[in-house]
Structure 1
């Protein structure tokens, strides 16, 4: 018997009474089926509701063949009557975001001919995937027009057209539909087939805010927030900007320029540091000599991968075959191996990785990677090597 879906009749229903039809354990949770429910099951990109049944927590909700299954953290007696309560702030937020996504997708479809081919409500934001690329100006226009719909406080209308009416209706859908089709309409902005929960009027969305977008599978993926989550996000960003402006002694509207100035200063200092480091490494290289087997290896603290390569190049100039530089802490080292002209260092690097739990690679004259070994183990390994002439 299919579950009576109270959320389809009234998306604002917070609590309800129902009878437990079945309850089976699955690992550390229980799967509970009721005769009726206000819990929306996962579907159409919208996650399943959470809440309580009596004092038992509902962790998730799914639907299979018309039956809504509630995942709980404790069992409920079959045949008993229970009081259900959904997590309303969470549901309301999802209603705001689902309706806001409808409007934005509808506007972009109407103006730019793009189709929504994917929709997901994540823990961080909502994403919608469109089948064609859009630029920043087009997306900004969509955002502005979507918020115009919010300001107008339009009704969000749910209908179930007949098959004949459906054939004449111009509506959005990600797949071919059969049977009873639920149509959600925002007058003048969107007509879409959807099984999710939505607000009754667009003003309840509060705000539709695009966070960003990226090119995705030949189209574009747009990240948005709506309603209460958009407000929370704005508060967090405002707090961050305020703290940064205080640290930089800059007005909030000037933090970007202040950061650019800091970046330029950092680049200038980095160039000076590199020049000083190069001079220091040259002096150190002057006091090192290769071993009898033609290899030169050394350890130096605090070198970046680029500095490792530069130091290895300096050492290779005075080495007949191969120079290796290691930096890190005992048991875990980064390395750079540089060969003299005409030397292929890749076989040596491969052997080093195999012997000392390493990984890495590169070109014939230069390889870079890391090993998990003590300094003494590395020194002993190099001392035993013979380089082919």
Structure 2
């Protein structure tokens, strides 16, 4: 069957009834962490919320006042995941998140148009595509797309948009001879009902379950951002369609104004200004490293020249690295002196080095790791690694192993 969202992609609200409501779980990623939500799978008599498919993400929306977090397809039915139960048989109003839906319509129809003209103009076949959150990608079956070809393709797709070409949805029976003439990457194994054809008049006819604009003019504009190397001698073509182009232009302009303020130069000079800054930073870093190395030697010599020095030396410095610490340890006679060094934020993450006679270092190493919440290893009188927190380094200083 075709859902109401497929029969009328522009419908924003719809009244239907609840067919079933069963307990369910939804696994999703929130803030980089996977979590499982407990809720309910709801089936409706019909729906304007598109279930994920054809490379297009699912719709979001409301059933009554209950948010729909996920819509999937099971054979001829759409399953809506919600966190609150709904009464079977009750009449409900369904609302679609229109901004998300229309964005998906623009990107999906844009993909069809780009795919068709890339094939017609250059013989580049589309093998897959991804509708991303910020930009979309079409995988072309070619190892290379030249910049001139990208430009020609962009001009061609926007010419079709300006020509107000209609986009017509057809429903054909699976045995209709016309089905064999349309482009397709195959039907799902659980497909049921008529075949849905998206026909961009005079340009392309393609099997597709997704939601689409009714006229190419609704795409507004398509921007081909460029290409990147794909897998197995393929090329990924990156594009934006419709409102995403406007948002991209707005964000780019905002970034440009910020750079003008920071770099004190006009937009055309930004690249040159950043290049100069990078070279200056590299020179400063090189100079800083050289000074740190000299400082490390002076620190070690100052300790060695102190007639009242003991057999334990400890130092923390915010700036530094492993080489800085190793220079100090090398300059001090660690066969007689136990050295504990740290670099990094005073109570934050950093690096540590414990050097000295093998016995004390071997004994203290694991305790140092535990107190600094670190990871590391040691051999030959050296134990060093990374510390997740230097907050307890004072405790390490208070409990050194005596060196005979």
The TM-score, its normalising length taken from structure 1, stands at: 0.78
How far does residue 96 in structure 1 lie from its aligned partner after superposition? Answer: 0.4
Aligned residues: 375
Question: Contact 1:359–1:370 (CA<8 Å) still a contact in 2?
Answer: yes
C-alpha distance after superposition, 1:334-361 (max 9, x if no partner): 125789xxx9xx9899857765542246
Structure 2 unaligned blocks of 5 or more: 26-37, 306-310
Aligned counterpart, 1:243: 258
CA pair 368-236 structure 1, distance change in 2 beyond 3 A = farther
How far does residue 15 in structure 1 lie from its aligned partner after superposition? Answer: 2.4
Question: Contact 2:299–2:328 (CA<8 Å) still a contact in 1?
Answer: no
Partners of 1:147 and 1:62 in 2: CA distance: 33
Aligned counterpart, 2:22: 24
Determine helix, strand or coil for the equivalent of 1:287: helix
1:281 aligns with 2:296: yes
How far does residue 262 in structure 1 lie from its aligned partner after superposition? Answer: 2.0
1:334 aligns with 2:344: no
- In structure 2, which of residues 160, 170, 177 is the aligned counterpart of residue 165 of structure 1? 177
Question: Contact 1:143–1:209 (CA<8 Å) still a contact in 2?
Answer: yes
- In structure 1, which of residues 146, 150, 160 is the aligned counterpart of residue 161 of structure 2? 150
Partners of 2:42 and 2:70 in 1: CA distance: 11
1:43 aligns with 2:57: no
Bigger shift: 72-81 or 174-183? 174-183
CA pair 347-176 structure 1, distance change in 2 beyond 3 A = farther
Aligned counterpart, 2:34: none
How far does residue 123 in structure 1 lie from its aligned partner after superposition? Answer: 2.9
Partners of 1:182 and 1:140 in 2: CA distance: 32
C-alpha distance after superposition, 1:123-152 (max 9, x if no partner): 333334445543562545544433333233
CA pair 227-370 structure 1, distance change in 2 beyond 3 A = same
Aligned counterpart, 1:264: 279
Aligned counterpart, 2:106: 96
Question: Contact 1:349–1:361 (CA<8 Å) still a contact in 2?
Answer: no
C-alpha distance after superposition, 1:197-253 (max 9, x if no partner): 111111211122344654343334444322112211221221121122122221123
C-alpha distance after superposition, 1:342-383 (max 9, x if no partner): x9xx98998577655422469999986313562244446763
CA pair 288-61 structure 1, distance change in 2 beyond 3 A = same
Determine helix, strand or coil for the equivalent of 1:36: coil
The TM-score, its normalising length taken from structure 2, stands at: 0.76
Determine helix, strand or coil for the equivalent of 1:182: strand
C-alpha distance after superposition, 1:17-59 (max 9, x if no partner): 2222223343653332222222211112212222233333333
Determine helix, strand or coil for the equivalent of 1:77: coil
Structure 1 unaligned blocks of 5 or more: none
How far does residue 122 in structure 1 lie from its aligned partner after superposition? Answer: 3.4
C-alpha distance after superposition, 1:277-333 (max 9, x if no partner): 33333321212349xxxx98642322243xx31442354145466976311325754
Partners of 1:352 and 1:364 in 2: CA distance: 18
Question: Contact 1:173–1:192 (CA<8 Å) still a contact in 2?
Answer: no
Please, what is the CA RMSD of the aligned residues?
4.0
Aligned counterpart, 1:383: 401
Aligned counterpart, 2:385: 369
Aligned counterpart, 2:270: 255
